[in-house]
Structure 1
Amino acid sequence: KELEDKTVATVTVKGNTDAPDLSGLSGEGNKVVEEVVESKVYTYVEQMPALPGGGGMGAIVNAIQKNVRYPAADLRNQVEGKVFASFTVDENGDVSDVKIVKGLSGTIDSETMRAIKTLPKFIPGKQNGRAVKVSFTVPVTYKIQ
């Protein structure tokens, strides 16, 4: 009863004729897929890079602060404030790509970069069980005591 006075029709839909040419491929499709290695730099991963003693971001900032030597000219001119620096910890735990994001003076910025480059080797960050590159941005405070 439901289909009384109803029109039933069929429609033919043509397929995609722009399919890629696969004639050059050979084999039986039973090869192992190689793991794709990305050169992506992460900002947050499952296991963040850490200094050998641990302590997270606070330990990293403290290690940089301990390595900083206040430039004499900036000390005389009483230059104070925060420098924001970024750097990358690579898959081997090495620090690279050190940059100043927001600086105070040329000498303080150079000193901050030098202090970051003297950080010890990190325990690399991991994502999905694999060591990956991780970028950090840290504040370094310059205050005359």
Structure 2
Amino acid sequence: MQVKKNAKADLASYSMIFFQVGLILVLAATYIGLEWKFTEQDQSILYEVEVADEDTEEIPITQLDNLPPPPPPPPPPAPEMVQIIEDDLDVEEDLIQSTETNQDAKVEMIIPVSAVEYEEEEEEVENVPFMIVEEVPVFPGCETIKDKDEQKKCLNDKIHALYAREFNTEIGAELELTGFYRIYVGFKINEKGEVAEIQTRGPHRRLEAEAERVAKLIPKMAPGKQRGRPVSVGYSLPVVFEMRPSR
């Protein structure tokens, strides 16, 4: 259905009237807006803070009348009785003999030097760790080696070979041990080249005793030296062995 326009509706003829009416309304609104007076209201609130006076405590003044007199001071101590002794005693003075001698004095007895006895003081032996000693102990069979590091290696190899050969690993089987076990052995190679002061630490007392037994099998060595003197050298090694379960 087509919408048709009304032939009598002529909006274009009223456009000027609408424009003028609108312009009048805008100008009136502008004028009213300019002439309008806004009254400001004071929205602030006045707070009054009152600080109370500090409470002051009045301490009454008291005065003691008729105070008792202070006690009298104690009397001075009585003087000690001094006894005066008359100085009429004869005191014998000791005669101090002179110790000075001269060439004319006669020597009554001459002690020969051979008759003088003296005791030699025992010199304390120095303890030096194995890694810093100047001359390491020489294990039998390592005498031909002159290099210090090679001598250390030779001694270590000899002691490790001794433990690998002599240590009784059947003790671990008797104790039903499995896995890796480590026993720490420490001793001193004294100034005579002998093994002394053996100490062991391990997982079982029987293993410690076996490690000590093997340490006693180490032969006598040439002692280590520090500044050209024989010294006691500390040495330690770990003994490690593996116990496998029997199949």
TM-score by length of 1: 0.67
Query: Which residue of structure 1 aligns with residue 230 of structure 2?
Result: 131
Higher mean alpha-carbon deviation, 83-92 vs 41-50, is at 41-50
Deviation at 1:56, TM superposition (A): 2.5
Query: Which residue of structure 1 aligns with residue 193 of structure 2?
Result: 93
For 1:35 and 1:64, locate their aligned partners in 2 and report how far apart those are by CA, in whole Å: 39
Q: As a proportion of its length, which structure holds more helix?
A: 2
Matched, 1:119 2:218: yes
| Structure with higher RCO (Cα < 8 A, 6+ apart) | 1
Matched, 1:46 2:138: no
Q: How do 1:1-145 residues align onto structure 2 when only pairs under 5 Å count?
A: 37-43=123-129, 44-54=132-142, 55-72=154-171, 74-76=172-174, 77-79=176-178, 80-100=180-200, 102-144=201-243
Q: Percent identity?
A: 26
Deviation at 1:64, TM superposition (A): 2.5
Off by >4 Å, runs of 4+ in structure 1? none
Deviation at 1:35, TM superposition (A): 10
Gaps of 5+ in 2: 1-119, 143-153
Gaps of 5+ in 1: 1-33
Deviation at 1:52, TM superposition (A): 0.7
TM-score by length of 2: 0.41
For 2:156 and 2:232, locate their aligned partners in 1 and report how far apart those are by CA, in whole Å: 16
Q: As a proportion of its length, which structure holds more strand?
A: 1
Query: Which residue of structure 2 aligns with residue 15 of structure 1?
Result: none
Q: CA-to-partner distance for each residue in 1:66-103, whole Å, 9 max, x for gaps?
A: 2211243x214124311111000011111010001x31
Deviation at 1:65, TM superposition (A): 2.5
The number of aligned residues is: 110
Q: 1:61·1:139 contact (CA, 8 Å) conserved in 2?
A: no
User: Which structure: larger Rg?
Assistant: 2
